[in-house]
Amino acid sequence: MVSSNFKLAETINQMSIQVKFFASLREKVGHNDVELASAQNALEAWQLATNNMTAPENLLVAINLDYAKLESTLNDGDEVAFFPPVTGG
């Protein structure tokens, strides 16, 4: 029981945030995917995953596949993606 509770506490403190980069940002940052153990919001995830690179002005953010903001709060299990303006079609 004690061991099990201890593990639970550990899980609560240690979030899992998946960070993804696409297109020119992927090349600039130098990697596709990073897993973070904690990040309060998208901005903190950006800072941690890029070693404090300055965020471009036209940076787009998606949390769990929907557009979001840099100030948007992150929760355990979230996937946050950073990318430049889209150019499909």
Measuring CA to CA, which residue among 53, 54, 69, 62 is closest to residue 83?
62
C-alpha distances in Å from residue 47, one per residue of 10, 63, 86, 87: 24, 16, 22, 25
Query: Cα(46)–Cα(88) distance, rounded to whole angstroms?
Result: 24
Shortest separation between residue 30's beta carbon and another protein, angstroms = 15
Question: Does residue 22 touch another protein according to CB under 8 A?
Answer: yes
Of 9-17, 43-51, 68-76, 78-86: span binding another protein (CB under 8 A) = 78-86
Considering only 11, 14, 24, 73, the residue that binds another protein (CB under 8 A) is 24
How buried is 8 (Cβ within 10 angstroms: 0-12 exposed, 13-18 middle, 19+ buried)? Answer: exposed
Which CB, 27 or 71, lies closer to another protein? 27
Site size with another protein, rule: CB under 8 A: 18
Which of 36, 46, 62, 75 forms a contact with another protein (CB under 8 A)?
62
